[in-house]
């Protein structure tokens, strides 16, 4: 439901991706050009303070400050002035779901590491301070190490340091990540060899008597210690000696026992990054350890995080917001309502939301619509001939031997994510479901293991990213439909589980457990868990579908896009017009994009590949011929060596989609241009193989298989000797490229 009021509605937006190499001054210089193009709104990537060197801006460390790597305040104001002079409004990509952590630049995170649950910011991050792992009680797992903890410690890559400016002690990992020592333990470092340090050590040990002002009193003592170190050489030498005494000698683990003992008593636990899959106790953006989830449902956090954005809206620097990853929030609708209510005036508001084919945007959300993923796929569908589906499927199956249905692949990929990268979160949900079950005798016998198996299967079968049950009202018809579907599919798949466990979880996810008074179940616990499962199902879908299944199912990769449906070829003209009519009626001001910064392949690449739906039989013949030539060229006469047939099929599509226009129609391609292009294709193939998680992964690269992939690509594009493959490929590529250009004009 649109609520822009007097806010200007975009006619055309232009995305600017800010980073250290493209700042406010660069954007200002583009303003006249954008105006001449007919652009009405600059669509700005996040430009609030992010991690140093960020290329995307989604790893924000301070929502209340601009990113100085992009320019200072005057440069920002000059950019705003240039936009205004050229009649340009501005929409900012805003990130409420998470913050960048690690390093030393997020003051909230550093404070949480220092003080644990006593930190004033501890509630703002989505942290479980009482996990099942007893060693993490009131501790935060920090999975930032590249090797086992003991190996990193022995290598001297965890070192205690003192900062004379702040008066604080911290362990530094790899000279990059700051892990502060709790001031209550400073006396263990300061010792009693120097009178001043002994005095301050006693004062730090007595901090517990200063609650609730413990943190402020600690800062006062740290400031005093820092001043003494800066002003007195004897104190500086004594502190340096104390630090040296705690640190060990690289290569001799036994010399690091004091530092190890000190680390064990902190509110953080540094660990190998692989530990996160099983033991992580804070919500992340997907499975990225460096992006920690925020509890934006808390009013005090909301107010703090949106202060600068609201100031920019009030000053009409901004005319709109694009909300990143709205599905990551505990209560998206509640967040959007608060955003409208507390903003200083009307503004344009869209959300990043990925819709299933049967799914519609929630009409009770106070937004103008989505960022347009669904429109991009609708337009692509118009360029694809539905009549070619049987031929496309036959070509893929005939070459690769793959016959598995796409839905089954997605389910398997989601299950893999839940058993590996996001196993810890699933375990916590099962734990909480078990606790709820024990509140009623009828459900008390459901063990955590049984609940975990059933819940995993339900999430794997979810047909949408998430539902929006919030306990404030009855679940919507759409939410019930999707939960019903997921539970029914899971029940069919897990036939060895007691059906009653699925009944219990169905009633939990719909909150029907508490529909009747005196049910015996805690309303707060049931609603909270139902909402947490929704927060979990979205990332599982994203990682399972977009980042895994899309790289396994290579039937027609033009369709493997965010919001795309690879199992469905083409859109009829009638369906296209019907969708446009519905959008005009319900979401007339939604964004319409044919490509975004999240798109895996550009419009022209997809336009080329769409041509294949019109000639699937010819495409199949070409692929078989190319493979015979390349396999023979590499001495693989039987065609059984790497890459596997599925990856090889992907390679031909990537090559066809991205072949440079400068080389189209050229009988003897320039060797240097081909080397540059080959490097890009090599990178794309390695990424695809790792994302598929079958032959190699990001965490455990399969060097032998990846080397074979690289060798295959280089051999295919080598012009240092006669290349029959390129000769055969170029003729077909020129034909497809010519037709692809016509598609691009649509």
Residue 674 has pLDDT above 80, yes or no: yes
Question: Which pLDDT tens digit goes with each residue over 172-185?
Answer: 999 999 999 999 99
Question: What pLDDT does residue 669 have?
Answer: 84
Q: Do domains 107-288 and 604-744 have the same CATH topology?
A: no
Supply 409's token pair.
């692949």
In angstroms, the CA 162 to CA 224 distance is 14
Q: Return phi, psi of residue 643, to 5°.
A: -75, 160
**Inter-axis angle of helices 671-692 and 703-716, nearest 10:** 150
In angstroms, the CA 236 to CA 186 distance is 15
Task: Give every CB contact of residue 48 below 8 A, 6+ residues apart in sequence.
Answer: 57, 60, 62, 63, 64, 65, 66, 67, 95, 308
Question: Which pLDDT tens digit goes with each residue over 301-320?
Answer: 999 999 999 999 999 999 99
Mean pLDDT of the 112-140 span: 96
Strand 48-50 and strand 348-351: the pairing is: unpaired
The answer to whether 719 touches 674, Cβ cutoff 8 Å, is yes
The band of 640, judged by pLDDT with boundaries at 50, 70 and 90, is low
| Class level of CATH domain 107-288 | alpha beta
Question: What pLDDT does residue 517 have?
Answer: 87
Ranges of each domain in the chain:
13-97+296-373, 107-288, 411-542, 604-744
Supply 417's token pair.
């994510």
Supply 154's token pair.
């022995």
The band of 518, judged by pLDDT with boundaries at 50, 70 and 90, is confident
Which DSSP letter does residue 699 get?
Answer: S
pTM: 0.95
Distance of alpha carbon 566 from the chain centroid: 21
Provide the greatest CA pair distance for the chain: 87
- Percent of the chain scored above 90 by pLDDT? 92
- CATH of segment(s) 604-744: 1.10.10.470
What is the three-class DSSP state of 99?
A: strand
Mean pLDDT of the 442-448 span: 96
User: Over the chain, what is the mean pLDDT?
Assistant: 95
In angstroms, the CA 321 to CA 697 distance is 36
Architecture of domain 13-97+296-373: Alpha-Beta Barrel (3.20)
Beta-carbon count within 10 A of 191 CB: 16
The answer to whether 94 touches 322, Cβ cutoff 8 Å, is yes
Question: What pLDDT does residue 633 have?
Answer: 83
Let me know the angle formed at the C-alpha of 389 by 385 and 390, rounded to the nearest 5 degrees.
Answer: 140
How would you write 315-345 as a 3-class SS string?
CCCCCEEEECCHHHCCCHHHHHHHHHHHCCC
Beta bridge partners of 42: 14, 90
Higher pLDDT, 502 or 664: 502
Mean pLDDT of the 704-726 span: 93
Supply 605's token pair.
């690449």
The answer to whether 101 touches 344, Cβ cutoff 8 Å, is no
In angstroms, the CA 442 to CA 479 distance is 26
The band of 597, judged by pLDDT with boundaries at 50, 70 and 90, is confident
Higher pLDDT, 636 or 538: 538
């Amino acid at each position: 439901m649109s609520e822009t009021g007097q806010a200007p509605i975009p006619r055309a937006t232009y995305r600017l991706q800010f980073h250290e190499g493209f700042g406010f001054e660069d954007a200002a210089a583009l303003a006249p050009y954008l105006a001449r193009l007919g652009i009405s709104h600059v669509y700005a990537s996040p430009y609030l303070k992010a991690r140093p060197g960020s290329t995307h801006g989604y790893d924000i460390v301070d929502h209340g400050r601009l990113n100085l790597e992009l320019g200072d305040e005057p440069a920002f104001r000059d950019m705003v002035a240039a936009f205004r002079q050229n009649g340009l409004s501005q929409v900012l990509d805003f990130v409420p779901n998470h913050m960048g952590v690690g390093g030393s630049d997020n003051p909230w995170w550093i404070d949480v590491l220092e003080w644990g649950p006593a930190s004033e910011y501890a509630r703002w991050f989505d942290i479980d301070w009482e996990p099942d792992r007893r060693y993490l009680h009131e501790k935060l797992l920090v999975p930032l190490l590249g090797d086992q903890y003991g190996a990193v410690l022995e290598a001297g890559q965890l070192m205690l340091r003192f900062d004379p400016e702040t008066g604080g002690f911290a362990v530094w990992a790899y000279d990059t990540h700051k892990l502060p020592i709790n001031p209550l333990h400073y006396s263990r470092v300061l010792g009693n060899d120097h009178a001043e340090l002994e005095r301050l050590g006693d004062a730090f040990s007595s901090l517990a008597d200063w609650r609730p002002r413990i943190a402020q009193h600690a800062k006062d003592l740290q400031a005093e210690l820092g001043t003494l170190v800066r002003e007195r050489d004897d104190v500086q030498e004594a502190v340096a000696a104390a630090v040296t005494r705690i640190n060990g000698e690289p290569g001799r683990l036994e010399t690091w026992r004091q530092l190890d003992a000190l680390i064990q008593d902190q509110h953080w636990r540094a660990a190998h990054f692989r530990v996160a899959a099983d033991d992580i106790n804070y919500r992340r953006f997907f499975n990225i350890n460096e992006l920690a989830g925020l509890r934006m449902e808390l009013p005090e956090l909301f107010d703090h995080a949106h202060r600068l954005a609201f100031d920019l809206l009030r000053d009409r620097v901004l005319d709109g917001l694009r909300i990143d990853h709205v599905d990551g929030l505990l209560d998206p609708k509640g967040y959007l309502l608060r955003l409208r209510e507390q903003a200083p005036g009307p503004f344009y508001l869209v959300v990043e939301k990925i819709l299933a084919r049967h799914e519609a945007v929630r009409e009770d959300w106070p937004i103008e619509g989505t960022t347009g993923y669904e429109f991009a796929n609708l337009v692509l569908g118009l360029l694809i001939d539905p009549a070619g589906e049987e031929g496309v499927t036959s070509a893929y199956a005939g070459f690769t031997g793959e016959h598995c249905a796409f839905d089954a692949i997605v389910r398997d990929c989601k299950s893999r994510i839940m058993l590996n990268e996001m196993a810890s979160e699933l375990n916590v949900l099962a734990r909480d479901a078990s606790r709820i079950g024990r509140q009623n005798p009828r459900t008390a016998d459901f063990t955590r293991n049984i609940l975990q198996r059933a819940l995993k299967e339900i999430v794997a079968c979810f047909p949408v990213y998430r539902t929006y049950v919030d306990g404030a009202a009855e679940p919507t018809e759409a939410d019930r439909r999707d939960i019903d579907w997921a539970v029914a599919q899971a029940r069919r798949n897990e036939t060895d589980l007691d059906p009653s466990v699925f009944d219990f979880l169905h009633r939990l996810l719909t909150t029907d457990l508490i529909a009747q008074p005196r049910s015996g179940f805690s309303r707060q616990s049931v609603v909270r868990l139902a909402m947490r499962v929704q927060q979990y199902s979205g990332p599982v879908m994203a990682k399972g579908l977009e980042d895994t299944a899309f790289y396994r199912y290579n039937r027609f990769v033009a369709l493997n896009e965010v919001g795309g449906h690879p199992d469905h070829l083409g859109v009829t003209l009638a369906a296209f017009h019907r969708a446009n009519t519905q959008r005009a009626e319900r979401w007339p001001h939604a964004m319409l994009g044919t490509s975004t910064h999240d798109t895996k392949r550009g419009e022209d690449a997809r336009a080329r590949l769409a041509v294949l739906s019109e000639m699937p039989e010819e495409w199949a013949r070409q692929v078989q011929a190319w493979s015979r030539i390349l396999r023979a060229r590499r001495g693989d006469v039987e065609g059984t060596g790497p890459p596997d047939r599925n990856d090889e099929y992907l390679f031909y599509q990537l090559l066809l989609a991205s072949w440079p226009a400068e080389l189209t129609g050229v009988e003897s391609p320039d060797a240097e241009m081909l080397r540059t292009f080959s490097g890009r294709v090599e990178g794309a193939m390695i990424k695809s193989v790792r994302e598929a998680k079958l032959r190699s992964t990001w965490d455990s690269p399969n060097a032998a298989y990846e080397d074979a992939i690289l060798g295959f690509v280089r051999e295919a594009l080598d012009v240092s000797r006669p290349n029959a493959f390129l000769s055969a490929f170029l003729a077909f590529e020129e034909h497809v490229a010519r037709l692809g250009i016509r598609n691009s004009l649509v």
